[in-house]
Every structure is written in structure tokens, then in C-alpha cells.
């Protein structure tokens, strides 16, 4: 008998949650009469709040234990655990519901980070591994890529507000990142702005505003929106762009959801971890420094380069941008 009420679990963060959207859509569309619920942190709710494939979104502030009673009252038939950590294990034990869990490949990632055995990693995107978790339900990849839904109030009229209706073509440059060793350094941001011929709009959080201000001093035509927009307003800007240049960030995955041409710049992490832009019609280019003995140094990132040289970013060749 097909499950009627399904809970999908992914607590964080922006990019990881966006990468679950094919699972949400495929379950909703392929499992007959399924009621799809999703549980995540409240701070990430904007990524899913407008998703029409979710029947109910369950949010918590700090720990999922805050809403154990709320979730237990739903009497779920099945849990799809796409987070798979101690918190999700405790949740499954509390709900005592049948579950399928995503394989995080932690040991293989350890081999890649500690011993640089990249061949241990499967040549498979994390989205496809997420979808494998739902295979027992008969769910198959529909090939439609990622989803990101906006409401009318999220729309930012870029041409009118920032470009004076002078052009419909502009580049989004993502200035931030969750870890320093994932972020494009300021010298490379300068170089990107020098090489790109279209107007450049900088996106990032409040912590990236100073970086944006520094770029603005050198390139007066650059538009610094770091810290000025909500996540969904930033997504609206990305949706209208002609090109997105980003490190391994959540905004990169939002750009993939809008099927944008993407140039992704990789520092201490590697695309082989399965987190490269996921596009139904690939229009992306990956820039990375291959052959560094210290890379990858982490499956996530650090607040500073462990070796002090940050070669994985500082040695990135950006000449490919000259054609844009």
C-alpha cells in the first residue's frame, strides 16, 4: 500500500534544501494521493515557503525537538531522511515511523579529504542520491532539475531600480559563502569585475557588505546589493540575470533552479562531492585549481586557509571570463 502522508527531513542549509526539491516534486507527482510534509529550520523557510508541492511545512527555531509533539500528531506513514545525522535519528526514533535514509558517504569523503582518494567518491550528483532514497516508492527522476518558487512580492525590478532601463543583460556575482575557504577572495572579485563586460550586481549577506563597498570604490558601475535584499529578493535578481558567477554557495544552487548559465569557482571543496550546479540543460562552467596536494582540505570549509596560502582560490585562472 502506498504511503499517504510522507515527511521529508532536511534541516539545513540553503543549498542543501534547494537540492531536495526534485525529491519533493517527484514524490508529490508520482506517489498517488501523497500528502508531502517537510521539516526544516525556520531560518531557511524562504527556500520552501512558496513550494506548491509541499502540503505542510514544519519549522523549528533551534532544535527539531521543539516540534516533536506537532510532528507526532501528524501520524506519518513514512519518513524520507535526507539529512541523516543524530538529530534526524532521534526524530525517527521519537516518531517510530518507517523511514528511508540518504547515504551521506561520510567515509568516502573522509578518504578524499584525508588521503586525497577522490576515486572513492561515486560519479553521481547528490540530487540523484537524494532521489535514490525515494526509489522504494517507485519514484524516478523526471529530469526537470531543481525548483525555486517566488511570489509576486519577492520581485525586484532590476532594470528600473538599478540599470535605468539601459540593458536587459547583467551578471550576478556572489560575494559571500558559508566558509572563508569557499569564498572568492577580494583580489579575484576585482579581476572578475575587470574581465566581465556586462553590468555586475553583487549579491551576498550583511557580512559581505564591506567587501561589496570595497569593490564599489574601485568599480563605480558595480551595484552592491550585499545585505540589502532578502533571500527571495536575491533569488529574483538571479532569475533576471544573464550570467551568475558564484563559489560553492546556496545562491549557486538557486541559479541552477532557474537554469541560468553559471560559472562556479571552487576553493577547498570539490565538485566530486556531488554538489556542482544541477541543471537539466547544463550551461555551467567549473573553475578550479586541480592537482593541489592539499585539496580538498575539508568537506565543508574553514575560516582561514589551513596552509596559509589559499592557492585553491588565488591560483584560479579567470581568462575564460573574457568572452562574457
pLDDT in tens, 175-193: 988 899 999 999 999 999 9
pLDDT over 80 (residue 229): yes
CATH class of 5-137: alpha beta
pLDDT of residue 193: 96
Backbone phi, psi, residue 57, to 5° = -105, 125
CB 19 within 8 A of CB 126: yes
Fold of 152-323: Rossmann fold (3.40.50)
Query: Helix (H) and strand (E) counts for the chain?
Result: 12, 11
pLDDT over 70 (residue 143): yes
Least confident of 78-82, 103-107, 111-115, 278-282: 278-282
pLDDT over 90 (residue 3): no
Q: How many residues does the chain have?
A: 324
User: Which of 187, 204, 171 lies closest to 323 in space, CA to CA?
Assistant: 171
Q: Which residues contact 308 (CB under 8 A, 6 or more apart)?
A: none
pLDDT of residue 1: 65
What mean pLDDT do residues 48-69 have?
98
User: Which of 202, 253, 243 lies closest to 224 in space, CA to CA?
Assistant: 202
The whole-angstrom separation of Cα 324 and Cα 27 is: 39
Query: Do 5-137 and 152-323 come out as alike in CATH topology?
Result: yes
3 state SS of 51: coil
Residue 243's pLDDT band (boundaries 50, 70, 90)?
very high
pLDDT over 90 (residue 225): yes
Segments of the chain assigned E as strands: 5-9, 35-41, 56-60, 78-81, 99-101, 171-174, 200-203, 223-224, 243-247, 262-265, 284-287
Residue 7's pLDDT band (boundaries 50, 70, 90)?
very high
The residue ranking higher by pLDDT, 255 or 284, is 255
Q: What are the boundaries of each domain within the chain?
A: 5-137, 152-323
Percent of the chain with pLDDT over 70: 100
pLDDT of residue 201: 97
The whole-angstrom separation of Cα 25 and Cα 36 is: 9
Considering Cα of 272, then 273, then 276, then 278, what sign does the dihedral take?
positive
pLDDT of residue 222: 94
The whole-angstrom separation of Cα 158 and Cα 164 is: 9
pLDDT of residue 56: 98
User: 243-247 and 223-224: which strand pairing?
Assistant: unpaired
The residue ranking higher by pLDDT, 169 or 165, is 169
Amino acid at each position: 500500500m502506498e504511503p499517504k502522508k510522507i515527511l521529508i527531513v532536511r534541516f539545513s542549509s540553503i543549498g542543501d534544501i534547494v537540492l531536495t526539491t526534485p525529491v519533493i516534486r517527484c514524490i508529490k507527482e508520482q506517489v498517488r494521493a501523497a500528502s508531502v510534509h517537510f521539516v526544516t529550520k525556520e531560518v531557511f523557510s524562504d527556500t520552501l515557503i512558496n513550494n506548491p508541492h509541499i502540503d505542510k511545512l514544519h519549522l523549528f527555531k533551534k532544535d527539531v525537538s521543539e516540534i516533536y509533539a506537532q510532528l507526532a500528531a501528524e501520524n506519518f506513514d513514512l519518513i524520507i531522511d535526507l539529512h541523516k545525522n543524530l538529530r534526524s535519528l532521534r526524530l525517527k526514533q521519537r516518531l517510530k515511523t518507517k523511514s528511508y535514509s540518504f547515504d551521506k558517504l561520510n567515509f568516502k569523503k573522509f578518504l578524499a579529504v584525508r588521503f586525497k582518494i577522490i576515486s572513492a567518491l561515486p560519479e553521481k550528483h547528490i540530487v540523484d542520491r537524494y532521489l535514490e532514497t525515494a526509489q522504494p516508492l517507485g519514484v524516478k527522476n523526471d529530469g526537470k532539475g531543481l525548483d525555486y518558487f517566488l511570489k509576486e512580492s519577492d520581485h525586484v525590478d532590476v532594470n528600473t531600480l538599478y540599470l535605468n532601463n539601459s540593458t536587459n543583460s547583467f551578471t550576478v556575482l556572489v560575494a559571500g559563502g558559508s566558509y572563508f575557504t569557499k569564498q572568492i577572495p577580494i583580489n579575484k572579485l576585482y579581476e572578475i569585475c575587470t574581465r566581465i563586460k556586462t553590468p555586475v550586481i553583487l549579491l551576498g549577506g550583511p557580512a559581505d557588505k564591506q567587501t561589496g563597498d570595497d569593490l564599489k570604490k574601485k568599480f563605480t558601475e558595480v551595484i552592491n546589493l550585499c545585505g540589502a535584499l532578502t533571500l527571495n529578493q536575491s533569488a529574483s535578481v538571479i532569475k533576471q540575470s544573464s550570467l551568475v558567477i558564484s563559489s560553492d554557495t546556496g545562491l549557486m544552487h538557486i541559479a541552477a533552479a532557474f537554469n541560468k548559465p553559471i560559472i562556479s569557482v571552487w576553493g577547498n571543496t570539490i565538485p566530486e562531492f556531488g554538489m556542482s550546479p544541477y541543471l537539466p540543460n547544463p550551461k555551467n562552467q567549473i573553475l578550479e585549481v586541480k592537482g593541489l596536494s592539499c585539496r580538498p582540505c575539508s568537506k565543508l570549509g574553514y575560516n582561514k586557509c589551513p596552509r596559509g596560502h589559499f592557492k585553491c582560490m588565488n591560483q584560479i585562472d579567470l581568462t575564460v571570463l573574457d568572452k562574457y
